[in-house]
Chain A
Amino acid sequence: MLEEALGHLVRGIVDHPDDVDVRMRTNRRGRSLDVRVHPDDMGRVIGRGGRTATALRTVITALNDDRAVRIDFLDVAER
């Protein structure tokens, strides 16, 4: 559900919604979400002073019953 929720929140605020890809990764330290967006949308999802990225993390943490989830923002070209 978290991937889907984050994908929805990000697709709604970018210029290239079709390029948005969200994947959950599980590693030793727990779960994290990788969000890939079009390079032109990177500034949009980070926001001034990281404001939008913080808002996304706050809402996703709330939907995860207040357990913090790591979210990494990457552009589609990054692997």
Chain B
Amino acid sequence: MSDAVETVDTTDETRLTGAQLLEKEGDAAADYLEGLLDIADLDGDIDIDVEGNRAMVSVVEASAGELGHLVGDDGRVLDSLQELTRLAATRETGERSRLMLDVAGHRAARREQLVVIAKEAVAEAQRTAAPVRLDPMSPFERKVVHDAVAEAGLISESEGDEPARRVVIRTA
């Protein structure tokens, strides 16, 4: 993957600013995904957004359930598609892409669930004054939980190794 970077001219004149880079990254991702939807004869609209300093690319279903195959069980297909889309964007920009892909609102819905799980764990940690260990989660899921815990003013960290890495919440 590093050889992609070497072939790109990164002199000051041609280096993209952060915003230009995110735009180019989003456009490359959208082209790649649109091409796939066309070939597979699937209907979906592509939204590009920026969250923090990450490109967020969402494929929105035209009719409910149409893109279910592209999400897969536990979002496994979605994760694979995100991986490929990042590689496609990286090839276009010359900078390693960290874009987040969502399909049919899968990540958005999971995020809401995780915020509820985090709030319940925070309440439990406060009630018992003992650490609360959550089930193993993906990096994306742990990030959502860490953010929700921090917002509640508690401390969280991850322990264990992938794929069994999990969040532990403490009051102090």
Contact = CB atoms under 8 A, between A and B. Distances in A.
Interface in B27-78: 32, 35-36, 39-41, 69-70, 72, 76-77
A51 B84 CA distance: 10
Interface in A39-71: 44, 48, 51-52, 54-56, 58-59, 62-63, 65-66
A55 to B, nearest CB: 4
Which label, helix, strand, loop or mixed, suits the secondary structure of the A interface?
A: helix
Contacts of A55: 79-81, 83-84
Given A12-B32, A13-B87, A59 B80 contact: yes
Interface residues of A, number: 22
A62 B70 contact: yes
A15 interface: yes
Contacts of A58: 72, 76-77, 80
B77 A59 contact: yes
Contacts of A8: 32, 35-36, 39
Contacts of B91: 12-15
A4 interface: yes
B93 to A, nearest CB: 13
Nearest to B38: A8
| Max count, chain B CB within 10 A of own CB: residue among A14, A55, A56 | A55
B14 interface: no
A12 B83 contact: no
B7 interface: yes
B79 to A, nearest CB: 8
Interface of B: 1, 4, 7, 32, 35-36, 39-41, 69-70, 72, 76-77, 79-81, 83-84, 87-88, 91
Interface of A: 1, 4-5, 8-9, 12-15, 44, 48, 51-52, 54-56, 58-59, 62-63, 65-66
Given A5-B39, A62-B70, 9 more contacts: A9-B36, A12-B88, A13-B91, A15-B91, A48-B1, A52-B84, A55-B81, A58-B72, A58-B76
